[in-house]
Amino acid sequence: MRPDGIWSNIFRLGTRKESLAETLQNIPLFRDLSPKELKTLERLVHIRTYNAGEPVFVETEPGAGMYVIRYGRVDIVLQYRSERQLLLAELEPGDFFGEMALLGDTTRSATAVARERSELIGFFHPDLIDIINLHPGMGAKVSLALAKTLAERLRYTNSQLRDIWQIREPNEESIR
- Model confidence pLDDT, tens digit, residues 43-54: 999 999 999 999
Per the CB < 8 A criterion, the answer to whether 96 and 27 are in contact is: yes
Which helix (DSSP H) or strand (DSSP E) does residue 157 occupy?
helix 136-175
Rounded Cα distance between 159 and 138, Å, is 32
- In which band, very low, low, confident or very high, does the pLDDT at 68 lie, cut at 50, 70 and 90? very high
Model pLDDT for residues 83-102, shown as the tens digit of each residue: 788 899 999 999 999 999 99
pLDDT of residue 11: 46
What pLDDT score was predicted for residue 153? Answer: 84
pTM (predicted TM-score): 0.79
Q: Which CATH architecture has domain 18-175?
A: Sandwich (2.60)
CA quadruple 134, 135, 140, 146: dihedral sign = negative
pLDDT score recorded for residue 142: 96
Kindly give the interhelix angle for 136-175 and 35-44, rounded to the nearest 10 degrees. Answer: 70
* For the chain, domain boundaries: 18-175
